[in-house]
Amino acid sequence: MSLKFGTSGLRGLSVDLKGKASAVYATAFARHLLTSGQTKAGDPILVGRDFRDSSPDVSATCIAALKKAGLTPLDCGTVPTPALALYGLSLKAGALMITGSHIPADRNGIKFYRPDGEIDKQDETAIAALAADAQVGEAAAGQVQQEDQGDEDDQQVQPAGAVHGPGQPLLHQRIEGRGRQARAGHQGQDQDEGETKDHAASLQRREGRAGCVTGPYGRHRPRIGAQASNADAAAT
């Protein structure tokens, strides 16, 4: 199997990650958080994904496995990885991000976040050991079988905004809010640039009458040669 921990998270071929493998690693991560005291049964855990073809399947499998492991998965949908990480920190909740980052399209991965940030190498070792445990594998295999049978209980997953009440998930509200702020900033910048250009044009006209021209980098210098002669002729 191609799956292994790399620079940031678990990576491998999409065909290897889909199904039992993603359930195994999601279950192992949940158990690691629970046994290390970083989270407790029933706590929320976020799950986000990118736009790769395999990401929805991997995400659904992880969500079901996390629920079976005793946590409360919150589906954040397709979001930027940094947004999911920041949201997890704000909630003090663990998180899984299904993303292949920059690797080829036939591959995918899972990034794991503790309530206080991304996992380290010691966490990776613990998660990998749990993933190799026979009991974890059996639990994951049972989870995949239930998912294939359409277990209704596993389909009732809360949206990311559930911990803050009904309505649109708060994470998406925050992302859209930042987008509106950025767009407003660009509009203000465009307006400022337009006013600056108008001012510069006016300044150049005044400088022309005063016998100056604008040089490189906005510096001013006196007119010389033919320019000075033309200015003198115009003055007389």
What are the residue numbers of the active site? Answer: 101
Strands 44-49 and 4-5: unpaired
Tell me the β-bridge partners of 77. Answer: 48
**Dihedral sign of CA atoms 219, 220, 224, 230 in order:** positive
The CA distance from 141 to 147, in Å, is 10
Three-class SS state of 112 = strand
Quote the DSSP letter at residue 40. -
Q: Around Cβ 118, how many Cβ atoms within 10 Å?
A: 16
What are the tokens at 59? 């995400």
Give residue 164's identity as a one-letter amino acid code. H
Q: Where are the alpha helices (DSSP H) in 36-169?
A: 55-68, 81-91, 121-131, 134-148, 152-155
**DSSP output for 81-99:** HHHHHHHHHHHT-EEEEE-
The CA distance from 59 to 22, in Å, is 8
Question: Is 50 in contact with 17 (CB distance < 8 Å)?
Answer: no
